[in-house]
Amino acid sequence: MQLFQGVTLGAKSFPTDAEGRAIKGMPRHPIVEDDVIIYSGATVLGRVTIGRGAILGGSVWVTENVPPHAIVSQAHPHSTDRPPERQTA
């Protein structure tokens, strides 16, 4: 596994009992299999599995399982023109 700077691997939430108290000792962090590459700024939350050989691009946000050998990346950023603000007198 290769992790680059600023990667977050963490829990999404604590499971709770009937009274709303956190249940300790329950698995809640990601499972990262062999040969995975996670680039800078990626965030992986919850009890999800990142499959063997998967690649997570920079700054992605993952909360679902990623299949083996998958590539997860952000869509290219784009801008949208908007009409200029109207001047009021």
Distance between CA atoms of 75 and 82, rounded to whole angstroms?
21
pLDDT at res. 86:
74
Residue spans of the domains in the chain: they are 1-13+26-72
**What ranges make up the beta strands (E) of 1-89?**
2-3, 8-10, 31-32, 37-38, 43-45, 49-50, 55-56, 61-62, 71-72
Distance between CA atoms of 73 and 56, rounded to whole angstroms?
6
Of all residues in the chain, what percent are helix, strand and coil, respectively (each to 5)?
Answer: 0, 25, 75
Residue 81 pLDDT class (50, 70, 90 cuts): confident
Distance between CA atoms of 89 and 24, rounded to whole angstroms?
62
pTM: 0.79
pLDDT tens digits along 3-19: 999 999 999 988 889 99
CB atoms near residue 11 (< 10 Å): 14
Q: Is it the case that residue 74 has pLDDT exceeding 90?
A: no
Top-tier CATH class for 1-13+26-72 = mainly beta
pLDDT tens digits along 37-61: 999 999 999 999 999 999 999 999 9
